[in-house]
Structure 1
Amino acid sequence: MIAYLTRRLIQAALILLGVSLITFALLYLLPADPVRQIAGRSATPQTVESIRQQLGLDQPFAVQYWRYLTNLVSGDLGRSYIQRSEVSELIVARLPASLLLMVGAIVCELVIGLSMGLVAAVRRGSATDQALMVGSFIGVSAPQFVVGLLLLYVFAVKLGWFPIGGYGTFSHMVLPSLTLGILGAGWYSRMMRSSMIDVLRQDYIRTARAKGLAQRAVLFGHALPNAILPVVAMIGIDIGLFMGGIVVVESVFGWPGIGQLAWQAIQRVDIPIIMGVTLVSACAIVLGNLLADIVAPFIDPRIKLR
């Protein structure tokens, strides 16, 4: 286990290094000038050039990236050009909201998606199976902002069951979590259905049924632990995606998470924040995949970490 973790952590460090290099290069080639955003429209050329020198943006790409990398190794994500605050402090302040929304979204997509996939697999070929798969296709295809606005209109405006937006209570979390969960549930249901159908064809399932075990015991005691393995791997990916890729949902519901911070930074060309959020999201994806790989052997003892 120690050797495996060491190897994976080295791989993670190389992945994060590659992500930082690619992101930094793309931002360096960006036609928008962050100095103009800082200085304002009425700034003189002398003022603009002075700010550029103060930020070190007049240096070659290699010099800028090396300076950023050396600061990153010491834990310094830089300072926001616009907000004039440390990027690490801004991210840490938004992190609890993003983590809370991530947990809520994963719970929603697992409950909805696994239930749909399990029922569809058991009733394969029936009208229920077809209806559930059509529903999953709609969930995957529907844009998040459309789903979010529709849920807001029905459950917040018309019925008044939940607040229109904001953050702080469980009721604030329901609609944005459900919006994200509907999209993920579509993927999980289709994957769960395919995996469960494949598992139900195995010899040990037929043996369990031949012994007279109840259908519930066969499904939940023998089939589900093996069929759920691909889903565990997807959860690891979703952790990273929900950490930085939920800009639309956070904007619709006014959720003060990292995604909203990233969107504001993109609008203002605030490069340190964009880099910081990108690296945090990449780190979450890497750690999520590592966690999924570690959990897999506990679900299926036949899997060995190598």
Structure 2
Amino acid sequence: MWAYLIRRIGESLLILLGISLVTFVLLYLVPADPARQIAGRSATAETVANIRAQLGLDQPFHIQYIRYLGNLLHGDLGRSYLQRTEVAELIEARMPATLLLMLAAIVVELILGLTIGAVAALKRNSALDQTLMVFSFVTISAPQFVVGILLLYVFAVQLQWFPIGGYGTFAHLVLPAVTIGLLGTGWYSRMMRSSMIDVLAQDYVRTARAKGLGRLRIILRHVAPNAILPIIAMIGIDIGLFMSGIVVVESVFGWPGIGQLAWQAIQRIDIPIIMGVTLVSACFIVLGNLIADLVAPLVDPRIKLK
């Protein structure tokens, strides 16, 4: 266990290093000039050059990147160009809202996805099965900003069941969580259906039926625990999908998380915030996959960590 954990942590650090390099290169190649953004359109060339020198943007790429890594090793994510605030403080202030939204979305996708998948597997090849699979395909295919706007129009504008946007109450949480969770619902339902169909065809399930065990007991004791194993790995992967989708969803619903912070930074070419949010998101993705790998053997002792 410890050898596996140490190896995975080492691999995770290499992945994060690669992500930081790729992101830094892409931002370095962006034609927009952050110094000009800070100075304003009416600023003189001399003023822009002074700002560029103060920020170290006049130095070669490798010098800028090495300096960034050095600061990163000390926990310094840099300082926002426009807000003049430490990036770590900005992310820390908005992280609780994002984590709350992510947790709620996971709950939504698990409840809907596992339920739909299980029902579809038990009603295999029926009209209900086909209807549920079509619904799953739609939730996977529909862009999240379209789903968000549609939910806002129906449930916030027309029915007025929920607020249009904002943060602070359970009512504010429902629509953005459902918007993000619906994407995972489609994947989970299809995976759960396929997994349950495979498990239902296993010999030990037929043996349980032959012994006269009730259908509900067979499903809860023998089918569900084995069918749910692939889902555990998907939860870790979902964190990555959530961190990318949260940028759009938080902007649509005015949710004050790191996704909205990243979107504002992208519009203003605020490189330190973009880098900070990207690295923090990558850390969550890596951590989610690591936790999924560690939890899987606890659910099924047959799985060995290598």
Query: Higher mean Cα deviation, 266-275 or 236-245?
Result: 236-245
The CA deviation at 1:3 is 1.3
**1:60-89: CA deviation from partner (whole Å, max 9, x where unpaired):** 111000000010011000000011100000
Percent identity of paired positions between Structure 1 and Structure 2: 75
Tell me which residue corresponds to 2:135: 135
* 1:152-231 alignment runs, 5 A limit: 152-231=152-231
The CA deviation at 1:294 is 0.8
Measured in 1, the distance between the counterparts of 2:277 and 2:241 equals 12
Secondary structure, counterpart of 1:246 in structure 2: helix
Measured in 2, the distance between the counterparts of 1:257 and 1:244 equals 13
Tell me which residue corresponds to 1:76: 76
Measured in 1, the distance between the counterparts of 2:214 and 2:238 equals 34
* 1:39-78 alignment runs, 5 A limit: 39-78=39-78
Unaligned runs of 5+ in 2: none
TM-score by length of 2: 0.98
The CA deviation at 1:154 is 1.7
Tell me which residue corresponds to 2:249: 249
Measured in 2, the distance between the counterparts of 1:82 and 1:71 equals 19
The CA deviation at 1:245 is 3.4
Tell me which residue corresponds to 1:286: 286
Secondary structure, counterpart of 2:30 in structure 1: coil
Secondary structure, counterpart of 1:85 in structure 2: coil
Task: Kindly provide the amino acid, as one letter, of the partner of residue 68 in structure 1.
Answer: Y
Tell me which residue corresponds to 2:18: 18
Measured in 2, the distance between the counterparts of 1:139 and 1:241 equals 14
Measured in 1, the distance between the counterparts of 2:194 and 2:51 equals 57
Task: Kindly provide the amino acid, as one letter, of the partner of residue 92 in structure 1.
Answer: E
The CA deviation at 1:102 is 0.1
**1:87-124: CA deviation from partner (whole Å, max 9, x where unpaired):** 00000011000000000101001111110100111111
The CA deviation at 1:32 is 1.1
**1:9-31: CA deviation from partner (whole Å, max 9, x where unpaired):** 11111100000011101111111
Measured in 1, the distance between the counterparts of 2:45 and 2:263 equals 28
Measured in 2, the distance between the counterparts of 1:79 and 1:125 equals 57
The CA deviation at 1:141 is 1.2
Secondary structure, counterpart of 2:121 in structure 1: helix
Task: Kindly provide the amino acid, as one letter, of the partner of residue 232 in structure 2.
Answer: V
Residue pair 1:98, 1:257 contacting (<8 A) in 2 also: yes
The CA deviation at 1:165 is 0.7
RMSD of aligned alpha carbons: 1.0
Residue pair 1:244, 1:277 contacting (<8 A) in 2 also: no
Residue pair 2:121, 2:196 contacting (<8 A) in 1 also: yes
Measured in 2, the distance between the counterparts of 1:213 and 1:60 equals 71
The CA deviation at 1:244 is 4.7
The CA deviation at 1:175 is 0.7
Residue pair 2:87, 2:276 contacting (<8 A) in 1 also: yes
Residue pair 2:114, 2:192 contacting (<8 A) in 1 also: yes
TM-score by length of 1: 0.98
Residue pair 1:140, 1:183 contacting (<8 A) in 2 also: yes
Residue pair 1:243, 1:258 contacting (<8 A) in 2 also: no
**1:101-157: CA deviation from partner (whole Å, max 9, x where unpaired):** 000101001111110100111111111110000111111111212211221122112
Residue pair 2:192, 2:228 contacting (<8 A) in 1 also: yes
